[in-house]
Amino acid sequence: MTVELTTSRDVMAELTRHRLSSFCVESQRFVDAGGDIQFIRPENIRPGTEAFEIWREHMLACERAYARLRVLGMPPQDARKVLPNSTATRIVMKANLREWRHIFALRTAPGVYPEMRALMGALLKQAKAHIPVVFDDLVSPD
């Protein structure tokens, strides 16, 4: 099963630890993130809270710093250093069905990082809809 996901850089780093999978990750080195950079809000930071405002201000500051460095002629591979783990990235992930069952069991369990759990929970629901005979016995997170 092959899927394309959009997630934060830190969750992408966790996903790539599944060694029996293969990955194609969007490059920050060669892809200019110019314009509006997309950020993934951490699940535990709720809009309307002080924590959200602090996070949002920091993301905007990082986006401005990246844009200024690019205007100064810095290549994307150097300017990307100011981008945080919340920066959205696209990843194509491929694994056999046995490995996907293993990934879902690990990454949807209680206590898993909330962003990972939400991402894998949504993906598990889609997998159940498309291949129920393989995934129906797995429990989706709330």
Residues with catalytic annotation?
107
Contact 140, 110 (CB under 8 A): no
Dist CA 45 CA 116 (whole Å): 14
Quick one: tokens of 40?
A: 């993934």
Long-range contacts of residues 118-124, Cβ cutoff 8 Å, at least 24 apart: 118/43, 119/5, 119/7, 119/11, 123/3, 123/5
The CB-side HSE value for 70 (13 A sphere, CA atoms) comes to 18
Dist CA 141 CA 119 (whole Å): 10
Dist CA 63 CA 19 (whole Å): 32
